[in-house]
């Protein structure tokens, strides 16, 4: 191993591999390795400028005075090594290139290596497992595997959203793939006091195994990761958002109710619902116009048969203080007026083999390639003319993974390269079609709704929702785990479809109970959204055409009053409670903006010294001072609640309760146990 000092970093080379370890932010290091002649120059999620750090670099024996040295010594036992330190984090690289990381002087992470080369090893040396493995990939680049030793007793959180009940990811295998309801945000927070960003948008997987941790990139030119070590989760998230970007301040008028259903089909329907909310005295912040309000996918405009004067409709909604959301899909039907122009100019995703179709819901479609700057300009010009200039406030960027006919990532190619190498960053570029251009138009506070995101997406004002999840109790439990881990992955603006998206029968009593419990949970998350595909499908289509805004089915009514008087009373009660907490919510959002703190927080975020807080997976904190214990099973009328240190006030009864204890809380259908920390 040959070591070189390079602008405060360590550069090491051995056997055709180059390793670069450099200070990058507060108590943090960035590590890159490659077998190419040079690094790609891509910073991916590490978009924010960082101040120069005075790193400390030390060497063991056999290093020359000029700062270089060979990793060969006569003893052959690997004593020669180099160490770089940035604040509380240090990394040692030995003579065969194995990296070990320390928080202060305590080892927190070490590469996994089982190979006989003259070094001393307590494990089997015959497995020929190396820490960084590059395998040739047909079509170019490498399939790369990065291995680390496991840490017994470690807990791992973050990584985005996976449809599973596990908040602690130790023992889990996670596909690093964007799919409908699965969001890959590859930043992990460890109970050992470090955070780890896999700074690579390649499709792959990670296994936080008991025997080893393994990161895999399906096609890549290099390994690139960032690691920080600090006191606890709060400091780790602060360090992370300083290098990947801060969520903006939430603008006024979004923290109340968002009203949506599967397809308001006409502007009359939208206005009728808006007037009904006003007549009932229910404040409404946002109303949503969902898919197939358009003519064909990729036309990105209203079907004038059913939306004859959208500007007048939007103006009327604005007069009532209601913001307007319009759904945008990335799919372009081959019959669309924009298809051949976009195909000719190379603005669509390409397939490597077979048909050029990438999406087949209600049309023969190819999806846009927003990694191409020209695509972003073209789509914005169309949407500006047909939506933004009419006064649309928010773009709902649905299908933003993108949603494929099949998730065959080896069959798609983008402007940035093969989908295997970069597909996970697709939703971030998709959101920037609108965020970047709205900023350029003078809109200082854009807000857009997406179904997916990636590391750093928080800086683009993405309200991320959890996708088309089923209306089941199991799904509700999964959303809590997903919400906790999205926040710990640096994405604070997170929400769900209340009641789940897929409902067969709105009259089913079990569904209505689930809806109420889900609504109670959602009232204490970042955004409160009524949305869902409510069956049965017995509402006739508006016309018999096979295109446009009239032919497709719609769901049953989904307004607060659609589920009976008693359920209406409960939902109105929790909307009123949420609105009464507006000042508190604004402070919580301000903290997310300032230091990356989640809106929906795991208990250990505020109580890192409390071992029990690291074990609790069915409660959460809204901000620092409101503890919520949702009911996530049918027929439950009471549940146990753990209260950490402090004095807690029951929001329903006013009772004052001392913490560091587990209590039994009453939870009839109209009560979700909620407690406010008073000191």
Catalytic residues: 398, 401, 468
Angle 582-595/233-244 helices, nearest 10 degrees?
70
CB atoms closer than 10 angstroms to residue 187: 27
> What separation in angstroms does the CA of 476 have from each of 18, 267, 376, 631, 632?
46, 32, 35, 9, 7
Nearest to 187 by CA among 487, 587, 584: 487
Burial profile 583-620: b = 16 or more Cβ within 10 angstroms, e = fewer: ebbeebbebbbebbbbbbbbbbbbbbebeebbebbbbb
Q: How far is it, in rounded angstroms, from Cα 184 to Cα 175?
A: 8
Per DSSP, 405 falls in state S
Cis ω for the linkage preceding 332 (within 30 of 0): no
57: tokens are 């670099």
Residue 270 is given by DSSP the state H
Nearest CA among 45, 12, 175, 36 for reference residue 489:
45
How many Cα atoms within 13 Å fall on the side-chain side of residue 327? 24
The answer for 538, left when phi > 0, alpha when psi is -120 to 50, beta otherwise, is alpha
Torsion of CA 483, 486, 487, 492, to 10 degrees: -90
CA-closest candidate to residue 287, choices 303, 304, 310, 305: 310
Length of the chain: 679
Give the integer Cα–Cα distance in Å for 659 and 673. 15
Q: Are 451 and 467 in contact (CB under 8 A)?
A: yes
Tokens of 383: 């949407």
How does strand 462-465 pair with strand 494-495? parallel
């Amino acid at each position: 191993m040959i070591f070189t000092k390079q602008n405060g970093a360590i550069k090491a080379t051995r056997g055709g591999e180059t390793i670069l370890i450099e200070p990058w932010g507060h108590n943090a290091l960035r590590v890159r390795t490659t077998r190419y002649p040079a690094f790609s120059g891509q910073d991916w999620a590490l978009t924010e400028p960082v101040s120069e750090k005075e790193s400390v670099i030390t060497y063991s024996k056999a290093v020359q005075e000029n700062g270089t040295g060979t990793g060969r010594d006569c003893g052959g036992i690997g004593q020669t090594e180099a160490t770089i330190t940035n604040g509380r984090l240090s990394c040692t690289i030995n003579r065969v290139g194995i990296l070990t990381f320390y928080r202060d002087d305590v080892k927190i992470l070490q590469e996994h290596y089982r190979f006989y080369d003259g070094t001393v090893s307590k494990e089997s040396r015959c497995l020929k497992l190396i820490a960084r493995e590059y395998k040739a990939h047909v079509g170019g680049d490498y399939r790369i595997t990065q291995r680390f030793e496991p840490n017994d007793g470690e807990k791992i959180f973050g990584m985005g959203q996976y449809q599973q009940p596990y908040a602690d990811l130790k023992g889990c295998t996670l596909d690093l793939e964007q799919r409908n309801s699965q969001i890959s945000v590859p930043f992990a927070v460890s109970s050992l006091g470090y955070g780890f960003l896999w700074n690579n948008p390649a499709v792959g997987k990670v296994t936080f195994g008991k025997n080893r941790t393994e990161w895999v990139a399906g096609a890549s030119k290099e390994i690139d990761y960032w690691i920080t070590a600090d006191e606890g989760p709060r400091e780790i998230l602060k360090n992370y958002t300083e290098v990947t970007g801060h969520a903006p301040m939430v603008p006024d008028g979004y923290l109340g109710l968002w009203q949506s259903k599967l397809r308001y089909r006409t502007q009359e329907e939208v206005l009728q619902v808006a007037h009904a909310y006003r007549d009932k005295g229910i404040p409404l912040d946002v109303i949503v116009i969902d898919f197939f309000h358009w003519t064909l996918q990729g036309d990105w405009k209203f079907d004038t048969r059913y939306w004859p004067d959208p500007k007048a409709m939007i103006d009327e909604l604005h007069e009532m203080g209601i913001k307007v959301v319009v759904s945008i899909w990335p799919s372009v039907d081959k019959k669309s007026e924009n298809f051949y122009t976009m195909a000719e100019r190379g603005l669509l995703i390409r397939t490597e083999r077979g048909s050029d179709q990438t999406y087949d819901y209600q049309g023969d479609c190819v999806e846009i390639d927003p990694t191409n700057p020209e695509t972003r300009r073209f789509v914005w010009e169309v949407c500006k003319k047909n939506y933004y200039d009419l006064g649309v406030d928010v773009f709902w960027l649905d299908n933003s993974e993108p949603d494929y006919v099949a998730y065959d990532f080896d069959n798609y190619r983008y402007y940035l390269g093969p989908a295997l190498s970069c597909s996970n960053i697709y939703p971030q570029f998709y959101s920037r079609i609108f965020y970047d251009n709205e900023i350029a138009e003078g809109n200082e506070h854009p807000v857009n709704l997406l179904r997916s995101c990636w590391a750093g997406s928080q800086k683009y004002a993405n309200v991320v929702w959890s996708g088309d999840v089923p209306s089941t109790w199991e799904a509700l439990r999964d959303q809590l785990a997903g919400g906790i881990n999205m926040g710990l992955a640096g994405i604070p603006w997170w929400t769900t479809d209340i009641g789940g998206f897929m409902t067969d029968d709105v009259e089913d009593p079990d569904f209505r109970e689930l809806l109420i419990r889900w609504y109670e949970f959602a009232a204490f998350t970042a955004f409160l959204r009524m949305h869902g595909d409510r069956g049965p499908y017995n509402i006739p289509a508006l016309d018999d055409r096979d295109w446009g805004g009239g032919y497709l089915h719609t769901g049953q009514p989904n307004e607060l009053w659609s589920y009976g008087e008693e359920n209406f009373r409960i939902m109105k009660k929790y909307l009123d409670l949420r609105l009464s907490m507006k000042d508190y919510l604004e402070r919580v959002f301000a903290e997310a903006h300032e230091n990356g703190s989640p809106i929906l927080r795991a208990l250990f975020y505020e109580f890192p010294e409390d071992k029990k807080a690291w074990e609790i997976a069915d409660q959460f904190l809204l901000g620092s001072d409101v503890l919520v214990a949702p009911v996530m099973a049918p027929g439950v009328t009471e549940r146990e609640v753990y209260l950490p240190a402090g004095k807690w006030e029951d929001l329903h009864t006013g009772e004052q309760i001392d913490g560091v204890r587990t209590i039994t809380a009453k939870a009839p259908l109209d009560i979700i146990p909620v407690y406010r920390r008073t000191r």
